[in-house]
């Protein structure tokens, strides 16, 4: 992989208007927009190439679960000459797509790969951020944009005895591509979206696969299929319309929820509709269902029971059916990620696959050859796969040495919970923005759509600040409180608070359990954010002229309120 050359001598300082951290879809989106707007922009990326999570995620079966054509960037010069081979592209094709984006837009010249950020701090005196990497790179910039990813920081639970295990151990987020499990005994811990994809592949190859889980995922049929060249050429004329409709939707896909509730129609009509949206595949069973599915417990039960009936028909083993399709829902349907699957349930049903319920039979300890369970049973493995997820939302930010204006690390600032304003800025960190974030509709959205909504807002904010001659911008603490309270109030009327998962940080011991997902959808979220630009509602803006500070659109010089920088008398 060719390295970029933005900083030929390590130790020399790279100067830019904006420094972006991360070169996945978020970082690419920001670099493209900022450069196009005339800002000198540089990028630090810890990996060896573009892709972000797709650079690291190379485990068997890794693929996107947003359907074509929506999992791509809305850049006509990029999609004009690119075609995907499947409705749900795999990890290799996503990396090939990122290489195509780089080639068309010539992004590489402004990116430093293999640059892992370990320190970032703001100087009020200089009005600049100074960022340092583990490898010795140094950069100074007026603005800092964090595109470090929602699901990047790998989480490995503190399993007793894990270090004594002598076999092969891999977290799915760091998988060697050339590895084979043919003829091997494999133990896999996890039952989330990653585990679903891995099981579908390893069950076909391993001699024996044992899946350890606490609760099942409620998976939906992917509806995977090839996407032909003629079909893609025919649809490209409509891409702009489709992407615009996605941006004006809740989840980034144009599909819309029914305007009535589960019990507002006859049982016959309800069954017909559920059959219809089930047959469409993808997330349609969630997106196009009735409007009270995540609001009403009884409505949710109807939707779960339909799901359970469909899935139970695909598993012949009664014990496995009981584990994977319990009669009573393990949590409210739709309040935790529903992975998309192709043949997951058929693979679990194979005779070479076992399922261990860790709630009934907990793990006592790892040892040299495998795992000892609490009931005294020893299970030996050649390979152990940790599909144990990520420190979501904040994990990548709290491990990079990011300091606030007082020198406090963000991991300490956020010790009692994540705080943001608009899901893109945070108090104490001037001129700092983030993309693909907590306190936005991120977990409930198509990735590229919410990324582009946030990237457009950040560009608009920076352009406005520069036009006004501003030195810095920072959200007010009370604005953060209001934003957090609004998200809590919106979720209070839903079933989301009843379910713990990575959506609320409950998968990380010691992390505060808090709902960080804006449930109102992309269209509402973007409108709310845009409205704050007018008069900088909720922000303090400091101007270069005489150190003027502006709060909520009113400048203050020497304690005297001013308008447009002119003292008001």
CATH topology assigned to domain 13-153+392-536? FAD/NAD(P)-binding domain (3.50.50)
Supply the pTM of this predicted model.
Answer: 0.91
Q: What is the pLDDT of residues 389-425, one digit of tens each?
A: 755 555 578 889 999 999 999 999 998 888 999 999 9
Token pair in block for residue 324: 């994977």
Span 224-251, average pLDDT: 97
Q: Which helix (H) or strand (E) holds 196?
A: helix 193-205
Angle at 560 between CA 555 and CA 563, to 5 degrees: 35
User: For 75-79, 255-259, 496-500, which range has the lowest pLDDT when averaged over its residues?
Assistant: 496-500
Token pair in block for residue 488: 């809590």
Q: Is 183 left (phi over 0), alpha (psi -120 to 50) or beta?
A: left
Alpha helices by DSSP H, listed for 63-161, are 76-79, 91-105
Q: What is the pLDDT of residues 163-191, one digit of tens each?
A: 999 999 999 888 998 899 999 999 999 99
pLDDT at 2: 40
Token pair in block for residue 515: 């709902």
Q: What is the pLDDT of residues 251-278, one digit of tens each?
A: 999 988 999 999 999 999 999 999 999 9
pLDDT at 561 over 90: no
pLDDT at 398: 82
- At residue 58, the 3 state secondary structure works out as coil
Q: Dihedral through CA 335, CA 337, CA 341, CA 345, nearest 10?
A: -60
Residue spans of the domains in the chain: they are 13-153+392-536, 162-386
């Amino acid at each position: 992989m060719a390295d970029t050359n933005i900083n030929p001598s390590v130790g020399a300082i790279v100067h830019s208007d904006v420094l972006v951290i991360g070169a996945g879809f978020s970082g690419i989106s920001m670099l493209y927009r900022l450069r196009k707007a005339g800002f000198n922009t540089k990028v630090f990326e810890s990996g060896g190439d573009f892709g972000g999570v797709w650079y690291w995620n190379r485990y068997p079966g890794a693929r996107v679960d947003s359907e074509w054509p929506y999992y791509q960037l809305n850049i006509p010069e990029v999609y004009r000459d690119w075609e995907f081979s499947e409705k749900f592209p795999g990890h290799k094709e996503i990396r090939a797509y990122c290489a195509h984006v780089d080639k068309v837009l010539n992004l590489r010249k402004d990116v430093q790969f293999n640059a892992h950020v370990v320190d970032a701090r703001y100087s009020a005196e200089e009005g600049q951020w100074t960022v340092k990497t583990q490898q010795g790179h140094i950069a100074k910039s007026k603005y800092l944009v964090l595109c470090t990813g929602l699901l990047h920081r790998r989480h490995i639970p503190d399993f007793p005895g894990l270090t004594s295990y002598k076999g092969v151990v891999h977290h799915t987020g760091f998988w060697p591509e050339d590895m084979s499990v043919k003829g091997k005994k494999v133990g896999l811990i996890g039952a989330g979206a990653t585990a679903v994809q891995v099981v579908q592949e390893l069950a076909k190859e391993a001699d024996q696969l044992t899946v350890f889980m606490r609760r099942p995922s409620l998976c939906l049929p992917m509806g995977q299929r090839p996407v032909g060249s003629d079909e893609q050429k025919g649809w490209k004329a409509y891409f702009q319309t489709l992407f615009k409709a996605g941006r004006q939707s809740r989840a980034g896909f144009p599909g819309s929820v029914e305007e009535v509730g589960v019990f507002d129609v006859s049982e016959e009509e309800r069954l017909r509709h559920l059959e219809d949206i089930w047959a469409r595949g993808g997330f349609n069973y969630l997106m196009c269902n009735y409007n009270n599915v995540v609001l009403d417990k009884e409505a949710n039960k109807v939707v779960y029971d339909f799901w359970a009936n469909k899935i139970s028909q695909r598993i012949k083993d009664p014990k496995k059916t009981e584990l994977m399709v319990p009669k009573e829902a393990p949590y409210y349907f739709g309040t935790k990620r529903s992975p998309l699957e192709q043949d997951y349930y058929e693979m679990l049903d194979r005779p070479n696959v076992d399922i261990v319920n860790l709630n009934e039979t907990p793990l006592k300890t790892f040892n040299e050859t495998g795992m000892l369970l609490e009931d005294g049973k020893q299970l030996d493995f050649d390979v152990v796969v940790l599909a144990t997820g990520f420190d979501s939302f904040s994990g990548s930010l709290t491990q990079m040495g990011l300091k606030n204006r007082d020198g406090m690390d963000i991991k300490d600032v956020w010790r009692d919970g994540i705080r943001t304003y608009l899901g893109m800025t945070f108090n104490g960190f001037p001129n700092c923005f983030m993309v693909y974030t907590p306190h936005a509709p991120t977990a409930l959205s198509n990735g590229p759509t919410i990324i582009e909504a946030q990237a457009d807002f950040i560009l608009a904010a920076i352009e406005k600040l520069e036009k006004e001659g501003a030195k810095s911008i920072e959200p007010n603490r009370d604005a953060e409180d209001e934003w957090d309270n609004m998200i809590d109030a919106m979720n209070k009327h839903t079933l989301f608070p009843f379910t713990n998962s990575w959506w609320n940080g409950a998968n990380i011991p010691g992390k505060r359990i808090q709902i960080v997902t804006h449930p109102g959808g992309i269209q509402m979220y973007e409108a709310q954010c845009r409205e704050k630009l007018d008069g900088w509602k909720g922000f303090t803006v400091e101007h270069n002229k005489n150190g003027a500070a502006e709060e909520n659109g009113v400048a203050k010089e020497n304690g005297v309120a001013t308008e447009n920088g002119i003292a008001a008398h």
